[in-house]
Amino acid sequence: MPQRINPSILSADFANLEAELGRIASADLVHVDVMDNHFVPNLTIGRPVVARLQEVSPIPLDVHLMIDDADRWAPGYAETGAYSVTFHAEAAADPVGLARRIRGIGSRAGIALKPGTDAEPYLELLGEFDQVLVMTVEPGFGGQSFMPETMPKLARLADARARHGLDVWLQVDGGITTETIGRAAEAGADTFVAGSAVFGAGVPAEAIEALREAASRSGHRHR
């Protein structure tokens, strides 16, 4: 199964985002964190900046909405042409309906699960989503420590994916480093978001390569 490394621009220089994209040219996608200071206690960027990033980025955008009222706002992010738009389970009144709208606009649709959010309601609905984002920290800030207790949930999602023969991507986000990425890969993740491990490194391209190597050493063992 292919593995993807998605650097999170939350740890990039927000005054020089276009230049920062140039430092991660070997990334698979760019992870863009949108926070509204309601769903999470932090505020980042909104649709106008995402739309502009979409215009200048040579790398597809993986937009992660940490915002309330996703039913209202998420389609607008898909309309920017983003490759994927992920919303949180608690933020949507109708997660399946919203995923269908996002897909209808042309983006891949993702559902995100906070560390305390149960995967159970979604195991039989996996086909409605293109990716499930398993948060491996509480959403809101970069630089936190990976929460290994989220791994059983990831493994349950991986089992459901295999049972249904789906190729839904399983993404992890938070505290992903060369030390932790192997555990997530073994539990079934194929898509890895890393902020500080990439932009906090001297040479982000080397950090991406190191993460790629560490993940590939530890592929999913339960397929």
Ligand X SMILES: O=C(CO)[C@@H](O)[C@H](O)COP(=O)(O)O
Site residues (vs ligand X, CB under 6 A): 8, 10-11, 31, 33, 64, 137, 139-144, 173-176, 193-197
Catalytic residue among 33, 62, 130, 190: 33
Say whether 46 counts as a known binding-site residue: no
Nearer to ligand X by C-beta: 67 or 158? 67
Catalytic residue among 28, 62, 130, 173: 173
Integer angstrom CA distances of residue 95 from 27, 41, 89, 174, 216: 28, 22, 7, 23, 32
Nearer to ligand X by C-beta: 122 or 146? 146
Most distant CA atoms of the chain, gap in Å: 45
Shortest spacing between CB 137 and ligand X, in angstroms: 6
Distance CA 3, CA 8 (A): 16
Q: According to DSSP H, which parts of 16-61 are helical?
A: 17-22, 47-56
Say whether 62 counts as a known binding-site residue: no
Annotated active-site residue 33? The verdict is: yes
Q: According to DSSP H, which parts of 106-203 are helical?
A: 120-123, 151-164, 181-187, 196-199
Question: What's the distance, Cα to Cα, between the start and end of the chain in Å?
Answer: 10
Shortest spacing between CB 52 and ligand X, in angstroms: 20
Say whether 159 counts as a known binding-site residue: no
Annotated active-site residue 173? The verdict is: yes
Shortest spacing between CB 9 and ligand X, in angstroms: 8
Which residue, among 54, 5, 17, has the nearest Cα to 206 in the 3D structure? 5
Query: Which residues are known binding-site members for a divalent metal cation?
Result: 31, 33, 64, 173
Active site residues: 33, 173
- Which residue numbers belong to the known binding site for substrate? 8, 64, 140-143, 173-175, 195-196
